[in-house]
Amino acid sequence: MTTVAARPATMAQALTRALRDAMAADPTVHVMGEDVGTLGGVFRITDGLAAEFGEDRCTDTPLAEAGILGAAVGMAMYGLRPVVEMQFDAFAYPSFEQLVSHVAKMRNRTRGAMPMPLTVRIPYGGGIGGVEHHSDSSEAYYMATPGLHVYTPATVADAYGMLRAAIASDDPVVFLEPKRLYWSKDTWDPEDPPAVEPAGRAVVRRRGSSATLLTYGPSLPVCMEAAEAAREEGWDLEVVDLRSLVPFDDETVCASVRRTGRAVVVHESTGFGGPGGEIAARVTERCFHHLEAPVLRVAGFDVPYPPPMLERHHLPGVDRILDAVGRLQWEAEN
Amino acid sequence: MTVMEQRGAYRPTPPPAWQPRTDPAPLLPDARPYRVLGTEAAGRTDPDLLLRLYRQLVTGRRFNAQATALTKQGRLAVYPSSTGQEACEVTAAAVLEEHDWLFPSYRDTLAVVSRGVDPVRALTLLRGDWHTGYDPHEHRVAPLSTPLATQLPHAVGLAHAARLKGDDVVALALVGDGGTSEGDFHEALNFAAVWQAPVVFLVQNNGFAISVPLAKQTAAPSLAHKAVGYGMPGRLVDGNDAAAVHEVLAGAVRRAREGGGPTLVEAVTYRVEAHTNADDAGRYRSESEVETWRAHDPIVLLEEELTHRGLLDEATRTAARDAAEAMAADLRARMNADPALHPLDLFAHVHARPTAQLREQAEQLRAELEAEAEGAGR
């Protein structure tokens, strides 16, 4: 047995490895989408898969997202486990009807006779200088659709484990990949990836006692940075990485908020009608008597995603998070 | 060398990537809908097939009438009837092998029943006790699809998956004339042709998308012509001529089975009833137009042929009618019983395992049901 020492790997590499391992482990796993074959995808996440498994297992499709997802539905009906790549968040919208009317509903409509074990991978979010239609945070649409699971990893290890779990799931999973974290690195052994846990649980990334930052995906590193900066202000912040928006882990979230008594939800998605409203409501309903202040949200503004030269004003940053923490009614403590 | 000689040697370079592709000529549909009944071709048709189709048409017509009657009795929430289109409905099922798949739209309950699905189970969608009342795998019939044309890419994907596995499976997908305007129609045909998937698309052109006539739906020479743009053959057939529909569909299925790829078939027919029982067709078409189509009725056309060939005696007619009445009586009796409802099933199949949130909500409903039962018991 050979062992390779853990070394820095990117989230993109971990995702590629997850796809490769899933395809090797299960011959029913089929990767399909635009440019995923010869090119290896515009972000190179499917790099090498067509060469290793053949074009029948990693297929360049015509450029038509509804057709891609609709065909994947038919393939899943026949017992395959399709993994669809949508090229960018905003380019997934043509497939919305297939997702909402069929992918999400097929199991329920047929009383379980026709499950939809398919994964829809969507690179999402901003911060990469993308021009219009390349930076949307579309998670609220998917969260609002019963029947779907919605996962979004924020670390290299989770990218691997959660994508494996998504592909292994007998439910359809919208797998949102924070594209600005594709090149983030962490120490991770690609030869000995961690065991795949069932997804659906949040995790505490940083222990703290003053307040809880509830976040996910691209905003996790920002929250970790904010928590470090907050030490200068005398706040010891806890950071919870939600990881799975559906199912939602009320237990981990509420346990943290009950400990700290204060919470701020942080995400790139717009605030109005965004995930933060649901999360704040759930926390308030369950932890009201533990709260020292209203649950606050730090979100993208309620504007169409800005052009790249203006996006830094839109994205939740450390200062905006610290401002929100500062508004958590600390005067009551004195 | 003179200037003229140099010019003579000059040839404009063609663009490097351009190559001639498919020759469109063999893909083009006939100029007029293909007919068998009442033509010379009719003499070549198998009498047993014609008699079988006749019995199925008579039963199919009765099924449509009975289902429409059930809406009036409040036993069905709504019924989009395929009266007048029975030749397409029963033939779509008849040309498939047991291991093939049928992908119906919401107007195709008769095709689903003709495939062998229990009528009561096929009608749960329209009765409203559950969306899909049958297990799609049992008879290889996909759920009745209400969102237009969205079932077509499913047929392509399933047929493609079967071919990848080396299984002998053809998928036949049904859609209406209105559905051909949907993006999913275009995308499904394109995928099918690129993948050479064993799929047959049957467009029942019944003249109307609810109230909108074909003239407002498309400027194409015919719907069958749309096939050419995707590189597959288009076939135009008289949708009320059961023998013609059978011949064309069976040919397309055979072609798909033998690896020849997909075919688009346009069957020209007519929606004799309104869109559904909730529609008022008098607002958009004349009774005289309907009458011209009643004269071109699929059962009438087949009866004329069978009579002409001396194949239809009174005993055959009576037997067909009796079988149809027996089906209708059975359906009536079973649909007149209130279906058993299971409210907690709302949560049972949303996911493979209910989430914590759904378990909480199921508990809430359970408590409400118990309180309701207690209240009723007092």
Structural domain boundaries of chain B? 25-277+286-335, 343-377
Q: Which helix (H) or strand (E) holds A119?
A: strand A119-124
> Are B205 and B223 spatial neighbours (Cβ–Cβ below 8 Å)?
yes
Q: Nearest-CA distance from B7 to chain A in Å?
A: 42
CB atoms within 10 A of CB A91: 17
CB atoms within 10 A of CB B322: 11
pLDDT at A8: 84
- In DSSP terms, A85 is beta-bridged to A33, A121
Domains and CATH numbers, chain A: 9-188 (3.40.50.970), 203-333 (3.40.50.920)
pLDDT digits (tens, 9 = 90+) for A125-144: 999 999 999 999 999 999 99
CB contact under 8 Å between A73 and B188, yes or no, is no
Q: Higher pLDDT residue, A195 or B190?
A: B190
Closest Cβ–Cβ partner in A76, A82, A109 for B143: A109
- Which residues of B carry out catalysis? 271, 275, 284
CB atoms within 10 A of CB B287: 9
pLDDT at B4: 58
Q: Please tell me the distance from the alpha carbon of residue A229 to that of residue A318, in angstroms, as a whole number.
A: 8
pLDDT at A199: 81
Q: Please tell me the distance from the alpha carbon of residue B174 to that of residue B105, in angstroms, as a whole number.
A: 6
Widest distance between CA atoms in chain A:
66
The pair phi, psi for residue B5, each rounded to 5°, is: -65, -40
Mean predicted lDDT score pLDDT of chain A: 95
- Is CATH 3.90.1410.10 the classification given to domain B25-277+286-335? no
| From A30, A102, A133, A134, the catalytic residue | A134
pLDDT at B1: 59
Contacts of B31 (CB under 8 A, 6+ apart): none
Give, rounded to a whole angstrom, the gap between the first and last alpha carbons of chain A: 61
Among A58, A69, A77, pick the best mutation site for testing chain B contact (most B Cβ within 10 A). A77
The reply to whether A100 touches chain B by the CB within 8 Å rule is no
Q: Please tell me the distance from the alpha carbon of residue B198 to that of residue B172, in angstroms, as a whole number.
A: 9
pLDDT digits (tens, 9 = 90+) for A267-289: 999 999 999 999 999 999 999 99
Closest residue by Cα to residue A242 from A271, A284, A205: A205
Task: Find the mean pLDDT for residues A176-194.
Answer: 88
pLDDT at B6: 62
Contacts of A88 (CB under 8 A, 6+ apart): A122, A123, A130, A133, A134, A136
Share of chain A above pLDDT 90, in %: 92
DSSP state of B272: -
Contacts of B191 (CB under 8 A, 6+ apart): A61, A62, A64, A67, A71, B153, B156, B157, B160, B197
Q: Please tell me the distance from the alpha carbon of residue B84 to that of residue B240, in angstroms, as a whole number.
A: 7
The reply to whether B361 touches chain A by the CB within 8 Å rule is no
Among B355, B358, B360, B364, pick the best mutation site for testing chain A contact (most A Cβ within 10 A). B355
Chain A residue numbers touching B190 (CB-CB < 8 A)? 62, 64, 67
∠ Cα B53 B99 B135 (to 5°)? 95
Q: Please tell me the distance from the alpha carbon of residue B142 to that of residue B136, in angstroms, as a whole number.
A: 5
Give, rounded to a whole angstrom, the gap between the first and last alpha carbons of chain B: 114
Split at pLDDT 50, 70, 90, the class of A1 is: very low
pLDDT at residue A30 tops 50: yes
Check the CA dihedral B265-B133-B140-B333 and report its sign.
Answer: negative
Split at pLDDT 50, 70, 90, the class of A5 is: low
Helix (H), strand (E), coil (C) string for A137-201: CCHHHHHCCCCCEEECCCCHHHHHHHHHHHHHCCCCEEEEEEHHHCCCEEEECCCCCCCCCCCCC
Contacts of B257 (CB under 8 A, 6+ apart): B168, B170, B198
Bond from prior residue into A247 cis (ω within 30 degrees of 0):
yes
> Are A124 and A94 spatial neighbours (Cβ–Cβ below 8 Å)?
no
Contacts of B138 (CB under 8 A, 6+ apart): B117
Q: Please tell me the distance from the alpha carbon of residue B45 to that of residue A284, in angstroms, as a whole number.
A: 74
What amino acid occupies position B211? S
Size of interface A-B (CB pairs under 8 A): 138
Tens of pLDDT along chain B (378 residues) come to: 566 566 666 777 777 877 778 889 999 999 999 999 999 999 899 999 999 999 999 999 999 999 999 999 999 999 999 999 999 999 999 999 999 999 999 999 999 999 999 999 999 999 999 999 999 999 999 999 999 999 999 999 999 999 999 999 999 999 999 999 999 999 999 999 999 999 999 999 999 999 999 999 999 999 999 999 999 999 999 999 999 999 999 999 999 999 999 999 999 999 999 999 889 999 999 999 999 999 999 999 999 999 999 999 999 999 999 999 999 999 999 999 999 999 999 999 999 999 999 999 999 999 999 999 999 876
Contacts of B232 (CB under 8 A, 6+ apart): B27, B189, B192, B193, B261, B262, B263, B264
- In DSSP terms, A185 is beta-bridged to A10
The pair phi, psi for residue B269, each rounded to 5°, is: -140, -160
Task: Find the mean pLDDT for residues A88-95.
Answer: 97
CB contact under 8 Å between A169 and B162, yes or no, is no
- In DSSP terms, A149 is beta-bridged to A173
CB contact under 8 Å between B350 and A149, yes or no, is no
Q: Please tell me the distance from the alpha carbon of residue A170 to that of residue B46, in angstroms, as a whole number.
A: 48
Q: Please tell me the distance from the alpha carbon of residue A252 to that of residue A229, in angstroms, as a whole number.
A: 24
pLDDT at A2: 40
pLDDT at A332: 67
User: Hey, which bits of A183-270 come out as E strands?
Assistant: 185-188, 203-206, 211-215, 237-241, 244-246, 263-270
Closest Cβ–Cβ partner in A61, A171, A248 for B351: A171
